[in-house]
Structure 1
């Protein structure tokens, strides 16, 4: 009887030659994604060596790829316990953790693997990518240096080391690496894109080192040798370097750029800067230069537009008249958006209004004369009406804007822009239902236009017609998606998530609002995770400059307005729930009307049936499907469809603080951010953080109404602290708060002085009322104070009026109906303050109109190609 070979007890890594070959085959099968065969090979090895750690880990990895995640991870953990000194088991565990987005844990696993295999190229590359993802640039330099030492013939290793030095701030070493790399190159062909990108990167590093002469020399030599392909980049960098060197050639270089692209603002600003001119400080000299450019480039729009920003008085009038007339003759829809920034100067505003009115008067068609087929006056008249309607709508003169739009629609009833302007005007006036109907009229003029479809859905949400908006959005989303909203969320449509979140919040459905705001946060998390693959890809493809720009963009990712808006809205909900836990229990059924609740139950039942059917189909699927690679990344699983877990979180303030934390550095000039940080910090007992937030907000705008309320809140909170705040936080808190509001000024005096100083501001009246209520002022006095906002001399807009109404409801005032009646009389065009019965009738009328218009899905085969990406235009163009 032959003696059986047994693995030593001290090692579970021993395999016989047959199983060792089988294990190598397992690795190859995994690399080739032949999962079913790989699983079979692993089972063969484990049949003889059931405690072989590396095979257990590889089998677990294969199972994870096949979608059997829990089973696979358990096997990986078991494999690690069986062989703690194998680099393979730690590498596999790192792969699993990386798929779960646990980058710090994955890096620890990879570092552990490197302890047992220090020169493994695959491990080192993965470690370098994780270090870049985590911004551990000093460690990245060491890893990249090791990779270069192991394989100096690989070009990307040289570039990767230079980039690592660059990211760590050591530009001198980055330059040395690039010089040494370029010495190794031989027989580089002309127009080699990868080499071109490397040279441009080398020039960039030299420029950042302020070695302008060397950078210019390298650029000129490379351009002459046709080593750099991008001609525009050559011209831009050359002009910039010549300016920094104060060379006489710089002026010519900027002129060449302007002739190359006369519609680029940066080129004109670069030319002015080279001449030593600041557009704000030297407007007269800059105007002379811009006038010369306008003469040389008569078709260029930029020098004429820049001139409008610099000119004043009669000179502005002379320049603005032909500019507006040209835009109106050409029928440029965005003309008003183009000149709107000039409205900060009241004189320019009046001048533009007079010019537009004059053009309108001069082009008004004479009904007694026959129209000429060659005349441009009818279209000029139409676009002048459109421009003026936008103008008066912007100035809150809604009746005048509507009159002009009626004239324009009577003239040309088929122009969608007229109806979108009507919708915007009605929205600003407070008639959200009328705005929705107007935007629907625009949509019906071109049913295949995704932009108009999206805008109509957006306005329906603002009118509270969420289900109807979802139906409309479904015209252009996937037919097989669970819902239009699910498809839009998958497409990371920020405008949709924010608008629906706002709509739910206005309706009091805080759970669903919080769900949408959290989805926005998840979109930005995805953006952050998506950069991982580019750490390797960009270096392989030598797209270095774009890659560095991307890293900088990712570092400032959460400064995006959509994230800021979602974070602030979500944090306010968390604060409200903390102050009043009943809000969470009131939303336990999801909120909404009885019809909405029934529809929600029906949708849940349908979703459950769909999931059961999917599970049944998966169970009866053919075995060949086990070879499908489902990837390592953990798919997002929504186990809180109604957002109730979010709303009922035991630590709402912790979640709010996590949302706001990135904004302390990325949005330091946003006063709303600091006010929200104060709201969260003071409730968490972080008194020092709270008072610092108040100080930052006060530095930005000491008269801000919300800040006024928070200062009084902070003083009241400080007086109710049961025990003194321990040092060193306590003295700093007290000292800073006393600087903001000295002890010798009473809260009542502070509040009355603020109200006197801002007696014509409705927001200030609201802030004073909120502060009074906080100080225990009787309800009747607070109500009387609120009603002073209705006086004629007080500037009151729809948004503030709605906030005042919300405040009265919050303090359970019995005069809400009286306020609504007064506001309804004050805002004649608004429907926001109608009685519930009147609103129900208006809503029913809108729903009837929408139903009769029809929402048939457009034929995608006949959809114009140019509209394929129109769904995102609303986000790029901003809120309308």
Structure 2
């Protein structure tokens, strides 16, 4: 065992001050910040260059809201004592609070050089390594934690998860098996133990040891060590299917009896029979009919049968399904069967069935259809014709329905949708507002109204409507919705500003969407410790997998592509603040004062280590639009999409536009080739191809002219190639 390092003379404290320093640490841990600040000042009176005290005082000040002053003190303390693990740990905490995870991990690594067995630093370092996906280092850190505290269950599971994330499933299995041997007197129905066993079974399944997975599952299910009965049934059915066991069919049937409306269970049952649900297979149709007869209340088998049936069989199944839905007045009936419209034959059959239901069977009566059934049938037909771009027919049916029942909000919403598709955004907004007025407490109708008002180019009216359900003390409804990370609102407002010629405000909202995803990415940090502490391991592994593909979300894709367009446009720098009218300048000044007032009203004792929101001095996005590093920001926005959205041609065209403006011709050519492989006939592709050829020729000509005009000394091999580009006009 190595000898402990001697305390440097400048770190040594007298007995009284050493006791005060321990009190300072205790005050910080118990959030007694004022006492901690007073104690730190007492020590610094006698030892003004004591690095650890300076760092702790800076940390306390950061928690009290005096962040800048605190950070300066921490940096000063680190300079005074570069060999103190406390100084480096505090510096890491400050950097972590600023979301600078790479630098924070470097600080923790430095701290561990001087105190290799500090549990707090090791735990923090493990969380940062998970956040940064540095799994090799994570395995090493978790191994150290387990070696230091082998009696802590969390450390065993943490090391297994680290090996799993690092791709070493066999080692993860060994860790969990050794962990189970250490357990004694586990209480019945222990949720944490149950989750660990389920994770172990998932791991065995992933490794491919299906017999062992099934054995562990069955034995622990009988003893009630695993308490999640649904998970037991699902895993058992899945494992038996992979084993091609005869018991698999019974396992899937048990699941279907447990939940007869789960589509995944039917897919699993049919897959076990070797039948894909998308195929038009007579065997699958027969099975679904059997389930429909044995479980008459379940709608899933009847709906799935419509997908795979054709011809007369489809007509036979569709008629009772549609008529039952219309008689029950199910508003979502059309949305349910809309996917069937890919087949033109099925589309016509559905239209014939629904229209025939309105024809009276008794010639002596005008109609023998129930009033409510009649109303919902008209509603369905209106959606049907609207979907098929028959706007006049849909509007005619809606007028009939509204004269029958003018107080049904769904009819007004359907009319608004028809008008929107026809290009009448103002009429659509008016119809949605009529629906909203029928039920003032319905948030869905309120949100729809705000959305349609934004599309009609009426942001002030939309703000008034959306403000009915937002916080009254917020600077504005939009600010509250942005704080609540409402992607619907941010995307719609951004698109509205872009459509009506305000690229600065549109860019501002698109960047707000980017900020939302950055915050979601940062928020996962808290779960690295929480999930292992609570043993919710299975959901934690799914969380990490989801976070890895976070920026494939459609809202981020749209925001990234649209936000790159102003930056890749050569006219973006011409949009200056002179475009603001006097009224807009006055409104800007008023909003600025309101935001400042809200900021001043926020008072508290413990501000925490999170960086305080920066004051927004660019509320109109003009500085953002004219930013000199706009192209670099656009490139960073688009970078993840090259992996997550490789089949989206709009993404590759946007990457080309940004790359060619940055004079990255090879990158632009690569993007263009990707786009061509996806759709060689895309209308924007030919324009970019011609533009790239012209740009490349012009740039090569300038490069050649510049090279010939320079002296031979500038063309030596030692001259970096990139230096040529900086001088080319």
The structure-2 alpha-carbon separation of the partners of 1:643 and 1:132, relative to structure 1 and needing over 3 Å to count, comes to same
The structure-2 alpha-carbon separation of the partners of 1:178 and 1:210, relative to structure 1 and needing over 3 Å to count, comes to same
- The Cα RMSD (Å) is 2.0
1:598 paired with 2:583, answer: yes
* Selected match of 1:138 from 136, 158, 165: 136
The structure-2 alpha-carbon separation of the partners of 1:216 and 1:614, relative to structure 1 and needing over 3 Å to count, comes to closer
Give the Cα separation in 2 of the matches to 1:161 and 1:613: 46
Equivalent position of 2:690 in the other structure: 712
Give the Cα separation in 2 of the matches to 1:333 and 1:247: 42
1:703 paired with 2:665, answer: no
* Selected match of 1:384 from 356, 377, 400: 377
Equivalent position of 1:78 in the other structure: 76
Give the Cα separation in 2 of the matches to 1:341 and 1:566: 27
Kept in 1: contact 2:279–2:308 (CA 8 A): no
Give the Cα separation in 2 of the matches to 1:506 and 1:365: 54
The structure-2 alpha-carbon separation of the partners of 1:719 and 1:526, relative to structure 1 and needing over 3 Å to count, comes to same
Equivalences for residues 115-134 of structure 1 within 5 A:
115-134=113-132
Equivalent position of 2:556 in the other structure: 563
**SS in structure 2 opposite 1:720?**
helix
Kept in 1: contact 2:60–2:70 (CA 8 A): yes
* Selected match of 1:163 from 161, 185, 202: 161
1:575 paired with 2:568, answer: yes
Give the Cα separation in 2 of the matches to 1:556 and 1:196: 29
Equivalent position of 1:460 in the other structure: 453
The structure-2 alpha-carbon separation of the partners of 1:89 and 1:447, relative to structure 1 and needing over 3 Å to count, comes to same
* Selected match of 1:632 from 609, 626, 629: 609
Equivalent position of 2:506 in the other structure: 513
Equivalences for residues 3-14 of structure 1 within 5 A:
11-14=9-12
1:684 paired with 2:662, answer: yes
Give the Cα separation in 2 of the matches to 1:419 and 1:590: 38
The structure-2 alpha-carbon separation of the partners of 1:722 and 1:325, relative to structure 1 and needing over 3 Å to count, comes to same
Equivalent position of 2:102 in the other structure: 104
Q: CA deviation at 1:342?
A: 0.9
1:437 paired with 2:430, answer: yes
* Selected match of 1:469 from 462, 474, 477: 462
1:693 paired with 2:691, answer: no
1:236 paired with 2:224, answer: no
Question: Which is bigger in relative contact order (C-alpha 8 A, separation at least 6)?
Answer: 1
The structure-2 alpha-carbon separation of the partners of 1:149 and 1:275, relative to structure 1 and needing over 3 Å to count, comes to same
Kept in 2: contact 1:423–1:435 (CA 8 A): yes
**SS in structure 2 opposite 1:413?**
coil
Q: Which moved more, 1:666-675 or 1:211-220?
A: 666-675
Kept in 2: contact 1:11–1:83 (CA 8 A): no
The structure-2 alpha-carbon separation of the partners of 1:275 and 1:57, relative to structure 1 and needing over 3 Å to count, comes to same
Query: Deviation string for 1:631-674 (max 9, x for gaps)?
Result: 10012222321111210111222111111001011111111111
Give the Cα separation in 1 of the matches to 2:595 and 2:514: 28
Give the Cα separation in 1 of the matches to 2:406 and 2:365: 18
The structure-2 alpha-carbon separation of the partners of 1:700 and 1:613, relative to structure 1 and needing over 3 Å to count, comes to closer
Equivalent position of 2:85 in the other structure: 87
Q: Which moved more, 1:418-427 or 1:705-714?
A: 705-714
Equivalent position of 2:389 in the other structure: 396
Kept in 1: contact 2:358–2:374 (CA 8 A): yes
1:423 paired with 2:401, answer: no
| Structure 2 gap segments, 5+ residues each | 1-5, 705-729
Q: CA deviation at 1:228?
A: 0.2
Q: CA deviation at 1:711?
A: 2.3
Equivalent position of 1:323 in the other structure: 321
Equivalent position of 1:611 in the other structure: 596
1:584 paired with 2:575, answer: yes
* Selected match of 2:399 from 406, 416, 419: 406
Give the Cα separation in 1 of the matches to 2:245 and 2:10: 71
**SS in structure 2 opposite 1:361?**
coil
The structure-2 alpha-carbon separation of the partners of 1:612 and 1:522, relative to structure 1 and needing over 3 Å to count, comes to closer
Query: Deviation string for 1:192-212 (max 9, x for gaps)?
Result: 000000000000000000100
Equivalent position of 2:337 in the other structure: 339
Give the Cα separation in 2 of the matches to 1:16 and 1:376: 95
* Selected match of 1:250 from 243, 248, 251: 248
Give the Cα separation in 1 of the matches to 2:499 and 2:32: 52
Equivalences for residues 188-199 of structure 1 within 5 A:
188-199=186-197
TM-score by length of 2: 0.93
1:482 paired with 2:475, answer: yes
Q: CA deviation at 1:612?
A: 6.3
Aligned residues: 698
Query: Deviation string for 1:741-783 (max 9, x for gaps)?
Result: xxxxxxxxxxxxxxxxxxxxxxxxxxxxxxxxxxxxxxxxxxx
The structure-2 alpha-carbon separation of the partners of 1:216 and 1:267, relative to structure 1 and needing over 3 Å to count, comes to same
